[in-house]
Structures are given as structure tokens and as C-alpha cells.
Amino acid sequence: MNAVKNALRRYADFQGRSRPSDYWIFTLFVLAGAVLLAIVEAGLGIGSGSHETLSSPGNISVYATHTAGWLVGLFMLAMLVPWLAVAVRRLHDTDRSGWWLLILFVPLIGQIILFVFLVMGGTRGPNRFGLDPVEEAN
């Protein structure tokens, strides 16, 4: 929970470094929040959705879809800057510039490359972006 508090406290701080666990815990928090809000929206009937019933002799299938509404949209918009900031600090931990986030705009290969960068361990000791966050925590 400290990772989420720290990310929200430093919501617009694009300087320094963040540990891998800080990034991944915050990303999991954002995804879980979006899913929970989508469930709430579906229960309240907010957003758009459809219910389909398919039937064939001896077989009936029912399924539903839900498209996120304004609650999920507001939540994701509110979490955009904190996510960008923690992602930039995570890239700094691997001794890369935050501009590497722009590789997301390259279809498929860009997402794979960025994922690899975010999963990689950080550089040990100080680098050009600051002190090692693992050493600072100890």
C-alpha cells in the first residue's frame, strides 16, 4: 500500500527513480480500480452494454458485455499523470530517459520493448537520475 501512497504523493514528480515493485503495485492498483468501477457501473446500469441470448436445440447461452462509462473514464484520467510519473521514474531506474515511453506509439513491438524495460532490474548504485531507491529504503 505504501507504493500506491508514494506514487500518488509524487503524482507529478518526474525526477528520480522508482523501484520495480513501486511501479507494478501502482499499475495493479490502477487496473483493479478500473475493473471494480466497471463492475459498479454495470450494476448501476451506467455505460453501455448488451445482453445476448443464443439458443439452439438443447442449448441456451447467455452472455453480457459492458463498455466502461464515465466513472472508469474519470478514474483513468485521474490516474494518468501519476502513472506516467511512476513509469518515467521506473525508466530512470534502468538508466533510460522517460522519453522511452513514446515507444508505446509503435504498434506491438513498442509495447513489448517497453514491457521489457519496465521488468528489468534497476542499475545498482547511483546513476545519472539519482540514488538507488533500494539502497535509500535500507
From 121, 122, 103, select the one nearest 113 (Cα to Cα).
Answer: 103
Statement: residue 62 has pLDDT above 80: no
pTM, two decimal places: 0.82
* Domain map (residue ranges) of the chain: 2-137
At 53 the pLDDT is 66
Cα–Cα nearest to 64, from 83, 77, 47: 47
Residues 82-136 have pLDDT tens digits of 999 999 999 999 999 999 999 999 999 999 999 999 999 888 989 999 888 877 7
User: Which band of pLDDT confidence, cut at 50, 70 and 90, is reported for residue 138?
Assistant: low
What is the pLDDT, as a whole number, of residue 76? 95
DSSP-assigned letters across all residues of the chain: -HHHHHHHHTTT--SS---HHHHHHHHHHHHHHHHHHHHHHHHHT-SEEEEEEEEETTEEEEEEEEE--HHHHHHHHHHHHHHHHHHHHHHHHTT--GGGGGGGGSTTHHHHHHHHHHHSPPPSS-BTTBS-HHHHH-
Q: Each residue of 17-61: pLDDT tens digit?
A: 999 999 999 999 999 999 999 889 888 877 766 666 666 676 766
